[in-house]
């Protein structure tokens, strides 16, 4: 026997079908944006299960990390690239949450990511204002559904360009702006295992400087998780 809620859901579904953003097929679960078939077709790295994976190697000799991973390989003109585009530039936050849940599921199955808190990599304030959200925050919220740990959104910031910086040389200015993060609330992360989250990792330079700033807090340990790995 169907419940009143199920009957209502079926009616709604009949008139407002819920379409997978990957393949356009009808999916039944209203919470999801991607169907199972699309999820299974994504190129998962399984890096979370192995030490010395390509993401961890990037940080060797540069940043003291406990573990690092990226969930998917980022291919050009691939499904995952389309999905990241939908999420970041078309503002499909529900899709971002689902991608975060997929990350959370993998991280939870691995014993190598014993974090206490999630830290989204901050955007420049102007960029966040234009986009309306920080994609890493959305990923964190999805991950948190599996790991059941809090998301700390205001412990580290990324200052905008300043007047004095525009007078400096181009390369120096780039270093100043790209590489600058400020830990505004060190007490909040003291003694904690942090999981720093970003959407796409290429060289790892931005994560490196953000991570180094986080490690200035007393007795913290650092893990890193990204949605995609864009190999070069
Ligand atoms: Zn699909």
pTM: 0.88
pLDDT confidence tier of residue 15, bands split at 50, 70 and 90: low
Q: Using N-to-C axis directions, what is the helix angle for 93-109 and 135-147, rounded to 10°?
A: 40
Residue 175 to residues 166, 171, 172, 232: CA-CA distances in angstroms? 12, 6, 5, 21
> How far, in Å, from the CA of 161 to the mean position of ligand 1?
41
d(CA 47, CA 228): 11
Q: What is the pLDDT of residue 179?
A: 67
> How far, in Å, from the CA of 20 to the mean position of ligand 1?
5
Q: Is the pLDDT of residue 115 over 90?
A: yes
| pLDDT per residue as tens digits for the range 162-221 | 555 555 566 665 555 556 899 999 999 999 999 999 999 999 999 999 999 999 999 999
> How far, in Å, from the CA of 109 to the mean position of ligand 1?
24
> How far, in Å, from the CA of 39 to the mean position of ligand 1?
7
């Amino acid at each position: 026997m169907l419940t009143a809620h199920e009957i209502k859901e079926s009616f709604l579904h009949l008139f407002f079908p819920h379409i997978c953003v990957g393949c356009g097929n009808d999916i039944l679960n209203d919470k999801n944006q991607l169907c199972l078939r699309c999820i299974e077709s994504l190129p998962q790295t399984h890096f979370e299960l192995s030490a010395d994976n390509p993401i961890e190697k990037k940080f060797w000799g540069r940043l003291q990390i406990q573990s690092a991973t990226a969930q998917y390989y980022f291919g050009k003109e691939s499904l995952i690239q389309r999905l990241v585009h939908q999420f970041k530039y078309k503002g499909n936050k529900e899709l971002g949450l689902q991608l975060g849940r997929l990350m959370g599921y993998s991280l939870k199955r691995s014993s190598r990511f014993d974090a206490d808190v999630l830290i989204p990599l901050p955007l420049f304030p102007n960029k966040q204002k234009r986009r309306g959200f920080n994609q890493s925050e959305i990923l964190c919220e999805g991950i948190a559904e599996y790991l059941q740990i809090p998301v700390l959104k205001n412990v580290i910031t990324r200052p905008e360009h300043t007047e004095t910086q525009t007078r400096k040389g181009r390369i120096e200015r780039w270093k100043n702006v790209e590489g600058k993060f400020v830990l505004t609330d060190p007490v909040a992360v003291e003694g904690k295992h942090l999981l720093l989250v970003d959407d796409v990792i290429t060289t790892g330079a931005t994560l490196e400087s953000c991570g180094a700033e986080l490690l200035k807090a007393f007795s913290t340990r650092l893990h890193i998780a990204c949605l995609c790995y864009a190999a070069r």
